[in-house]
Chains A and B, each alone.
Chain A
Amino acid sequence: DAKTTQPTSMDCAEGRAANLPCNHSTISGNEYVYWYRQIHSQGPQYIIHGLKNNETNEMASLIITEDRKSSTLILPHATLRDTAVYYCIVRVGHNQGGKLIFGQGTELSVKP
């Protein structure tokens, strides 16, 4: 699975959009980008994933650059409950049962 690079920490004001970047310059054609988050030592929680098109669900939007070497997770209206560590994970195929490899992630602090 391709390596990812994320900033160690970010701050965001409550109610504003939080934009979390991820670099994955060695991503290959069959690898998907997944985002999970972990709120204060709870179990990781799936947020969103994509291959090459931008994706949106009830939690967030995922913007993937045309060359697929980077992506941005957008939380459109961050709340205090979005304070968490956010993990960008690149892995092969989404119909296989392979493991998730977690990096250090980005610690997002949403402030009032």
Chain B
Amino acid sequence: EPEVTQTPSHQVTQMGQEVILRCVPISNHLYFYWYRQILGQKVEFLVSFYNNEISEKSEIFDDQFSVERPDGSNFTLKIRSTKLEDSAMYFCASTLLGQTTKNIQYFGAGTRLSVL
């Protein structure tokens, strides 16, 4: 069964460093998302991406964050200068839009980001 793949599974970085989290969405999907979950808290929406541009973003997604689809398969989340409070699980998701496809979002296993 097709799945969303995220790498790395765990990323450790120093505060102030840039990190790039990588995702390979399901191949024929058109809509892509990033969510995050701070330990013990709710899953929070960060950003959605469609047709090579941001469709919607949350207040969390400030100028330190950016997303890119550099080629036909990868979808990346970059954090320019990490802060301690960026430590969280980051989940990528994708969906195939359409009346018959139910707009179900499929999630990857996540990347645990630890900022020291």
A42, B109: Cβ atoms closer than 8 Å: yes
Residue B48 is within 8 A (CB to CB) of chain A in the complex: yes
A35-58 CB mask vs B (1 if < 8 Å, else 0) is 000100111111001000000000
Known contacts A45-B107, A94-B102; is-contact A101 B45 (Cβ 8 Å)? yes
Known contacts A49-B102, A94-B102; is-contact A102 B42 (Cβ 8 Å)? yes
Contacts of A97 in B (CB 8 A): 30-31, 48, 50, 55, 95, 97, 103
A44, B33: Cβ atoms closer than 8 Å: no
Distance between A111 CB and nearest chain B CB, rounded to angstroms: 23
Q: Number of B interface residues at 8 Å Cβ cutoff, please give it.
A: 32
Distance between A57 CB and nearest chain B CB, rounded to angstroms: 11
| Distance in angstroms between the alpha carbons of A43 and B109 in the assembled complex | 5
Residue B37 is within 8 A (CB to CB) of chain A in the complex: yes
Contacts of B91 in A (CB 8 A): 43-44
**Which residues of chain B in 63-116 are interfacial with respect to chain A, using CB atoms and an 8 Å cutoff?**
89, 91, 93, 95, 97-99, 101-110
A95, B97: Cβ atoms closer than 8 Å: yes
- Smallest CB-CB separation from A101: which chain B residue? B45
A103, B102: Cβ atoms closer than 8 Å: no
A96, B97: Cβ atoms closer than 8 Å: yes
- Smallest CB-CB separation from B6: which chain A residue? A43
Instruction: List residues of chain A with CB under 8 Å of any chain B CB.
Output: 38, 41-46, 49, 87, 93-104
Q: Which 5 A-B pairs have the closest CB atoms?
A: A43-B107, A97-B31, A99-B45, A102-B43, A94-B103
Instruction: List residues of chain B with CB under 8 Å of any chain A CB.
Output: 4, 30-31, 33, 35, 37, 42-45, 48, 50, 55-56, 58, 89, 91, 93, 95, 97-99, 101-110
